[in-house]
Amino acid sequence: VQLQASGGGLVQPGGSLRLSCAVSGRPVSSYTTGWFRQAPGKEREFVATVMRRTAGGRATYADSVRGRFTISRDNAKNTVYLQMDSLKPEDTAVYYCAADQNLILSSRTIPHEYDYWGQGTQVTVSS
pLDDT in tens, 57-86: 899 999 999 999 999 999 999 999 999 999
Q: Tell me the pLDDT band of 2, cut-offs 50, 70 and 90.
A: very high
- What is the spatial distance between Cα 45 and Cα 33, in angstroms, rounded to a whole number? 14
Sign of the CA dihedral with 7 first, then 99, 52, and 60 last:
negative
List Cα–Cα distances, 49 to 11, 14, 103, in angstroms: 23, 23, 11
The pLDDT of residue 55 is above 90? no
**Helix, coil or strand: residue 124:** strand
The pLDDT of residue 98 is: 97
Q: Give me the chain's average pLDDT, please.
A: 96
Q: Tell me the pLDDT band of 104, cut-offs 50, 70 and 90.
A: confident
Contact 26, 45 (CB under 8 A): no
The pLDDT of residue 25 is above 90? no
Angle at CA of residue 103, ends 91 and 54, nearest 5°: 110
